[in-house]
Amino acid sequence: MTEKFSRHDLIPGWNQALIQKATVIVAGVGALGNEVCRILATSGVGQLIVCDPDVVELSNLSRCTLFQQADIGVGKTDTIKKALASLAPHTSVDSRVGKFTQTIGLGTIRQAALVISCVDSNSARIQLAGRCNLVRTPYIDGGTNPWGGEVRPFIQHTHACYACANLDKADDDLPASCSPRQPLSPMGASLAITAIIGAWMSTFALRHIQQLEIPDIILRIDGASGVCTPVAQRRNPVCPLHEAIDQEILRVPLTHNTTITELMSYLPDGAIPLLWEPVPVNTDHIFGTNGTGETGSPYSHDMLYNHHHKVLVHEMTLFPPGTRLSQMGIPPGEVIPCRINDQYHYIEIL
């Protein structure tokens, strides 16, 4: 191992031991995620936790060096894990199939050295920013356009975050890059540009892991002109995503397959465990019916809307007691907020 990374030791400030101890989460392992995973793993990062809901498609093969023809139709995260087992066997890869919010718990995020955002929509980026900010975990976001892209490091919780300049795009789930685009239009992409942006993201990541300085800027890269431009980041004073969990988090020996009943046994009387994001539940589970199909109670403040006998709720206690946490979208290692007499407490599951 020492001989393998001997050239790294010649780099001023390089600390291979810190790299080998680091856990990095990579959200999205398409083109950019491929490059980031390849570079970090071959650089010696100890553990990668990768998440993505998609499977490998033919169009990925021109931009993703870790995918092969035989991988078409296979989950991207499992393919990454298989490829890196051969390329970088010293790196442990944890494959999570699904979206970032549903596969990576806040407890897992707060224990990671860094999160790297390679997701492809504004709403996903803003969700990622919010969860990282809750536990003060630094993250690096990147995006490409046909002849360039941007690298956006968000290292200090008190500084600007991705949402600061993009709050008006929170509900936009169209793919987001660094140049204007028409809705539903295809976005040109190439491995050359992907490799450049992925290399910059990885460079910033490796410097942060080794406790080396990273500039507090957005790096805008124009491949057509050969110019890299630093752009100042400014925190938006009304951005709501900078609130963090400031109190002690209690760890409990429960998993995301635990039922609500089991969870309640660890909580004091009157505690109401909550979901970070509301999920639908059948109204009959909440109120029952009066024999005519009409519900017998008004909706609580934690119910967002009623549609075809379903409401969106935050309170776990409105679900059937035997419901498992995973069925409500709670991932492994999640931090669960609990309301007790108008105060909030937090527990972390395994």
Q: Is the pLDDT of residue 293 over 70?
A: no
The model's pLDDT over 58-67, given as tens digits with 9 standing for 90+, comes to 999 999 999 9
| Span(s) in the chain for CATH 3.40.50.720 | 8-242
Instruction: Identify residue 203 by its one-letter amino acid code.
Output: T
Arithmetic mean of pLDDT over the chain: 90
Pairing type for strands 148-154 and 217-222 reads antiparallel
Show Cβ contacts of residue 233 under 8 Å, excluding neighbours closer than 6 positions: 152, 154, 159, 160, 164, 165, 216, 217, 218
The model's pLDDT over 139-157, given as tens digits with 9 standing for 90+, comes to 999 999 999 999 999 999 8
> What is the predicted pLDDT for the residue at 173?
55
Q: Is the pLDDT of residue 163 over 70?
A: yes
Whether residue 211 contacts residue 22, with contact meaning beta carbons closer than 8 Å, is answered with no
Q: How many CB atoms lie within 10 A of CB 176?
A: 20
The model's pLDDT over 224-257, given as tens digits with 9 standing for 90+, comes to 999 999 999 999 999 999 999 999 999 999 999 9
Query: Hey, what CATH topology would domain 8-242 get?
Result: Rossmann fold (3.40.50)
The model's pLDDT over 73-85, given as tens digits with 9 standing for 90+, comes to 999 999 999 999 9
User: What gap in Å lies between CA 104 and CA 100, rounded to an integer?
Assistant: 6
User: What is the arrangement of strands in the sheet containing 335-340, beginning at the earlier edge strand?
Assistant: 249-251, 343-348, 335-340, 272-282, 310-315, 303-307
The model's pLDDT over 172-231, given as tens digits with 9 standing for 90+, comes to 554 444 444 444 466 788 999 999 999 999 999 999 999 999 999 999 999 999 999 999
Strand partners, 143: 150
> What is the predicted pLDDT for the residue at 283?
66
Let me know the angle formed at the C-alpha of 326 by 320 and 331, rounded to the nearest 5 degrees: 145
Instruction: Name the band, by pLDDT with cuts 50, 70 and 90, for residue 313.
Output: confident
